Amino acid sequence: MIGLVDANNFYVSCQRSFDPRLNGKAVVVLSNNDGCVVARSNEAKALGIKMGVPFFQLEELRQQHDLTVFSSNYTLYGDMSARLIALLGRFVEEVEVYSIDEAFLNLSGYEQLYPNLTELAQTIRSTSNQWLRIPVSVGLAPTKTLAKVANWYAKREPGHNGVFMLDTKAAIDDALQTFDVADLWGIGWRYAGMLKRNGIRTAAQFAALPDDWINAKLTVNGLRLAYELRGTPCKLLELEHQPKQTICTAPSFGKLIPDLATITEALTTHVGRAAEKLRKQESAAGALSIFLHTNRFRKTPGNGLPAKQYADSRTVILPHATSSTPELVRYAQAALQAIYAFGYEYQKVGVILSGLVPAGHQQQALFSDAPDQRLASLSKVVDKINHRHGRDKVRLADAGYNPEWHHKRQWISPNYTTRWREILSVR
């Protein structure tokens, strides 16, 4: 059996974990830069607030209702997520971290230890509730896809008390009869539309389709999905953390920026962040892309006409793979100067590092410089200092001192678990 543990309204639950006043209230969490809604409490869902709604559209609701708004605090959510995963590891050996708020558990072989899996799931729920004050739902089924379906029911039907098991053929058939094919794991809106045009509305109808038809219309991935729904596991737990193939850092500016100097500061900081991630996973980048663009939706203030637009990007193939911040910054700044055009209000500059190779495996070229090992060591030392004394304590002067381009986080909550000055206060 496979278990899927999914935290309910995770970001909202993290905020509530340290501020119980928010319990029973409408709460939303906004995306980076306070752009749009990325998490809603059940009460906020009941107010009709949809996922992805731009924040400015909530202004009226905020005046009429008791609606609490938070900027996303990924430091807090990341820490709570790590605690949740560690907690799950106490019960089961094999845990696949699927996303920040979801994990698969491999429960096969635990029959002796946990004869009643529903009871185990309830214990996981109450432990998370006591240790983290985060409510979770658990779906139990023979395959990952069915565990997703079971979790859907566990979360939405209060009678199940947060745990739902699909263990018999009858229970699985029953659940798939009423399960919308569009909600299936891996069925995007295109496939959902195509299936509905062909009269397939439920997961049960999908699972009953002939293999040839599925293979022709939805490729082998669709076929795997059908097998999983029929109870044959095709997706195994991915326990090894895969190093990323590309690393991208590109948060929007907090306000529109026209001048090259400020954009250069922002880019230098982004490259620094990306290089730090690169070194953390022990990789080096073989190529670097820079992109720069204006806000597509912006209207010129005054006349309301669409503002003039500009977007460009530039990719630099590096002479040797490197993870050194100063080296990457040098290429990034040159690329930025090549694509920057005067006279626009820019919204975003970003960097993508690609062609990643393990840091140790660098090919020596005959006619180009070998990477300077001293630079790589220097960056590692800087990482250590910053890890101990706080982010950006040591950084390139080009990153500037006055980060006016930083993104907006107007309603950020304290970092209850990661900063001494912001920990919970008791009387």
Question: Of 213, 383, 406, 409, which lies in the binding site for other proteins, with binding defined by CB under 8 A?
Answer: 383
- Measured CA to CA, the distance from residue 325 to residue 270 in angstroms comes to 10
Which of 387, 389, 391, 393 contacts other proteins by CB under 8 A?
387
Q: List the structure tokens of 255.
A: 């306000």
Query: Residue 423, interface with other proteins (CB under 8 A)?
Result: yes
Q: Which of 60, 261, 388, 402 binds other proteins (CB under 8 A)?
A: 388
**Nearest Cα to Cα of residue 340 among 287, 254, 398, 262:** 262
87: contact with other proteins by CB under 8 A: yes
Nearer to other proteins among residue 63 and residue 130 (C-beta): 130
Q: State the alpha helices, DSSP H only, in 65-168.
A: 74-91, 117-131, 144-156
Q: Segment near other proteins (CB under 8 A), from 206-214, 287-295, 398-406, 413-421? A: 413-421
User: With CB under 8 A, what is the number of residues at the site for other proteins?
Assistant: 24
Residue 314 buriedness (CB in 10 A; 0-12 / 13-18 / 19+): middle
Host H or E run for residue 155: helix 144-156
127-166 residues in contact with other proteins (CB under 8 A) are 127, 130-133
Q: Are 318 and 285 in contact (CB under 8 A)?
A: yes
Q: Given candidates 21, 197, 241, 374, which one binds other proteins under the rule CB under 8 A? A: 21
Among 296, 384, 389, 391, binds other proteins (CB under 8 A): 384
Which span sits near other proteins by CB under 8 A: 125-133, 322-330, 356-364, 390-398? 125-133
| Cα–Cα distance measured from residue 50 to residue 31, given in angstroms and rounded to the nearest whole number | 13
What would the two tokens of residue 1 be? 């059996």
Per CB under 8 A, 241 contacts other proteins: no
> Is residue 360 within the footprint of other proteins (CB under 8 A)?
no
Minimal distance in Å, beta carbon 76 to other proteins?
A: 12
Cβ 164 to other proteins, closest distance in Å? 25
End-to-end CA distance of the chain: 46
CA-based nearest residue to 9, from 61, 62, 49: 49
391 binds other proteins (CB under 8 A): no
Distance, in Å, from the CA atom of 189 to the CA atom of 168, rounded to the nearest integer, reads 30
* Residues found near other proteins in the complex (CB under 8 A): 20-21, 83, 86-87, 90, 127, 130-133, 280, 383-384, 387-388, 416-417, 420, 423-427
